[in-house]
Amino acid sequence: MASQLAIHRLNKFLSEKEDLDEVAAAKIDKLIAELQTPGDHFDPVQTIVNGFMDFKIHKFDKYPCLFDKLALGQSPKFLVFACSDSRVSPSIILNFKPGEAFMVRNIANLVPTFSQLRYSGTGAIIEYAVTQLKVENILVIGHSKCGGIQRLMEHPEDGSVPFDFIDDWVKIAQDAKDKVKAEGGGHEACAREAVNVSLENLLTYPYVHKEVSERKIALRGGYYDFVNGVFELWEKHESHISPPMIIPPPQLKM
Amino acid sequence: MAILPPTSSSLSKDSSYSFSLHIQSSTIFGSKLKSGEFQQTRFRLFSNSNSYPGLTIKASRESLGLTQELKSNKLERVVETEDGSDLFEDMKHRFLSFKKHKYLENLEHYQNLAKGQAPKFLVIGCADSRVCPSTILGFQPGEAFMVRNIANLVPPFESGPSETNAALEFSVNSLEVKNILVVGHSCCGGIRALMSMNDEIDKSSFIQSWVVNGKDARLWTKAAASKLSFDQQCKHCEKESVNRSLLNLLTYPWIEEKVKKGILSVHGGYYDFVDCTFEKWTLDYKEDNLKEKNGRISVKSHILWS
């Protein structure tokens, strides 16, 4: 508790003292980090406390205009589908700030085809984002080393026991698996192709199709390669897919 | 691949927020830390009483302004579908900034993460753009497996395969997370839709077909909070639906088994972005919780930070 209070007071001091010199600020940052180090014992509650207080002091309290406005309502420009994987939060890798992106996280960032009989969770998100929030962009982001894609590619050929729910879910990208296997590709090719399958599936939702054909919504695919620190971005048009923008470009060393 | 020329962007190169809004010099309220009280708290779900021990009930200061935001935005929609250069130049700069300031500065950590993830949390949050758990609770890469859906709902086991339970299965059985945290929030459009709908679902509405997973929370709220305003009822329902989701988690046999053995903890949370407070509580698992599924949920370690 004492260290918690100390962390809070040090953070407050840092945020209030704008003229603090860099050396002093760095020393205080280091002290805060040491106080926050959990040691050998992981405390989930302490993790949440630290996280929320950090957000409150450094963001919420610092930008009252923004957060007052957001309290009244949201008008995000993006609907983002990203994987549940702990390593690929779009808020971190693409720095989406509060209010910018309505965000879905599910296994392998999949979008099932329109069906009134199942997957109402996804349907509800698309319905709300497109018809109520009127987003202008839908972005589906795949990533490297995806466990869901791995399962899709390896089962049932590996003879493993089926899961209750996972196998049914990842079958959404079956077309991606079939295409990639026919071409002799591997998991990473399947992860990229699954993004395209999801983008195609988005067009089976009548309101999405309408908005896209009226050029009110843009559909884009992304691929985050966290092995090499590269992000690819491309656009799905009705008749074709644009070549990907590679960030950073291959010739630029970072 | 041609390198696109840089365009003027208000995004700064570092990862701090930069806005062109006028920033007030005073904060809304002092950052008081009000925590550290651990108490056994028992909630009666079908109580007629309007008092809730351990919870500070605050009605939201402003009415939901969802519709007024939408009306003004209708006039301003400009979509760059030809090449999307403005919006996607922004995205390019953001990724490069992430790479420079986070990825490369912690390269060894990211290289380890690339080999595999071992998150300690499964977090189930709402898709609402204002409540990303990475932002409000500071989860760093590798820390939390995340599910985001409308109104952070967990359907029960018997509802069959869904997006949410595929993620439950993977995180609990494959990744073996030690904690599940369900986070609700203020001004939730999904909960509002749940509270506004008729008893009979309009089957052509996906939203209704999904939020009906929270119907028990709605029933309880209508019974227990009928004297309150609609906005206040929605707030109660937002919190109650978190508790219902915690109970629904226990309908999954492989979750209940781990909770029983003490190797998996189940927590509820509520983020109020009007007042900037966060409440957190932990499910106090007792064998008889299942017998009284329509009755009580026993919690412990209930904390409010404000």
Q: Which residues of A touch B119 (CB under 8 A)?
A: 86
Closest CA to B150 of A125, A205, A115: A125
Candidates A36, A43, A48, partner chain B, best to mutate (most B CBs within 10 A): A48
Identify the band that residue A45 occupies on the pLDDT scale cut at 50, 70 and 90: confident
Count of alpha carbons within 13 Å of B149, Cβ hemisphere only? 32
The answer on B268 and B210 residing in a single domain is yes
A126 to chain B, any CB pair closer than 8 A? The answer is yes
Is the separation of the CB atoms in A83 and B112 below 8 Å? no
A246 to chain B, any CB pair closer than 8 A? The answer is yes
> Nearest-CA distance from A27 to chain B in Å?
18
Q: Is the pLDDT of residue B75 over 70?
A: no
Is the separation of the CB atoms in A31 and A37 below 8 Å? no
pLDDT per position as a tens digit, B175-229: 999 999 999 999 999 999 999 998 888 888 899 999 999 999 999 999 998 899 9
CA distances from B294 to B12, B233, B282 (A): 52, 20, 19
Tell whether B211 is covered by a domain: yes
CA atoms of B61 and A137, how far apart (whole Å): 31
DSSP assignment, residue A150? H
CA atoms of A221 and A137, how far apart (whole Å): 11
Tokens coding B282: 């932990």
Identify the band that residue A8 occupies on the pLDDT scale cut at 50, 70 and 90: low
CA atoms of B140 and B103, how far apart (whole Å): 12
Residue carrying the six token digits 């909070």: B225
Q: Do B280 and A48 touch (CB under 8 A)?
A: yes
Q: Is the pLDDT of residue B93 over 60?
A: yes
Residue carrying the six token digits 């929609």: B77
Is the separation of the CB atoms in A83 and A107 below 8 Å? yes
Candidates A15, A102, A105, partner chain B, best to mutate (most B CBs within 10 A): A105
The answer on B149 and B33 residing in a single domain is no
CA atoms of B169 and A106, how far apart (whole Å): 12
A87 to chain B, any CB pair closer than 8 A? The answer is yes
Four-way CATH pick for A75-239: 3.40.1050.10, 3.10.530.10, 1.10.10.10, 2.30.110.10: 3.40.1050.10
A14 or A233: whose pLDDT is higher?
A233
Question: Using CB atoms, which residue from A51, A107, A137 is nearest to B137?
Answer: A51
CA atoms of A8 and A1, how far apart (whole Å): 11
Which domain does B243 fall in, by range? 116-305
Lowest mean pLDDT among A21-30, B100-109, B115-124, B134-143: A21-30
Q: Please say which residue of B57, B82, B107 terminates a domain.
A: B82
Tell whether B109 is covered by a domain: no
Q: Where in chain A is the domain with CATH 3.40.1050.10?
A: 75-239
Peptide bond into A98 cis (omega under 30): no
A138 to chain B, any CB pair closer than 8 A? The answer is no
> Nearest-CA distance from B224 to chain A in Å?
26
Q: Is the pLDDT of residue B231 over 80?
A: yes
Q: Do B209 and A123 touch (CB under 8 A)?
A: yes
Closest CA to A13 of A58, A59, A66: A58
Q: What does the pLDDT average to over A98-107?
A: 96
- Three-state DSSP class for residue B238: helix
Is the separation of the CB atoms in B119 and B176 below 8 Å? no
Q: Do B163 and A56 touch (CB under 8 A)?
A: no
The answer on B122 and B43 residing in a single domain is no
Tell whether B103 is covered by a domain: no
Domains held by chain B: number: 2
Is the separation of the CB atoms in A110 and A173 below 8 Å? yes
Q: Please say which residue of B58, B82, B106 terminates a domain.
A: B82
Residue carrying the six token digits 């077909």: B209
pLDDT per position as a tens digit, B269-289: 999 999 899 999 998 887 655
Q: DSSP letter string over B129-159? A: TT--HHHHS-PPTTTEEEEEEGGG----GGG
Which active-site residues of A does the annotation give?
83, 85, 87, 143, 146
Looking at the predicted complex, does its ipTM rise above 0.85? Answer: no
Identify the band that residue A6 occupies on the pLDDT scale cut at 50, 70 and 90: low
For B84, other C-beta atoms within 10 Å of its C-beta total 20
Question: Using CB atoms, which residue from A74, A216, A246 is nearest to B129?
Answer: A74
H helical segments located in chain B: 66-74, 85-98, 107-115, 133-136, 163-169, 189-196, 206-211, 215-224, 230-249, 253-261
A213 to chain B, any CB pair closer than 8 A? The answer is no
Lowest mean pLDDT among A240-244, B164-168, B290-294: B290-294
Q: Which amino acid is at A154?
A: E
Tell whether B6 is covered by a domain: no
Number of cross-chain residue pairs from A and B with Cβ atoms under 8 Å apart? 333
Is the separation of the CB atoms in A30 and A7 below 8 Å? no
Q: What is the CATH number of the domain that holds B201?
A: 3.40.1050.10
User: What are the residues facing A151 on neighbouring strands?
Assistant: none
Closest CA to B249 of B235, B264, B261, B269: B264
The answer on B158 and B63 residing in a single domain is no
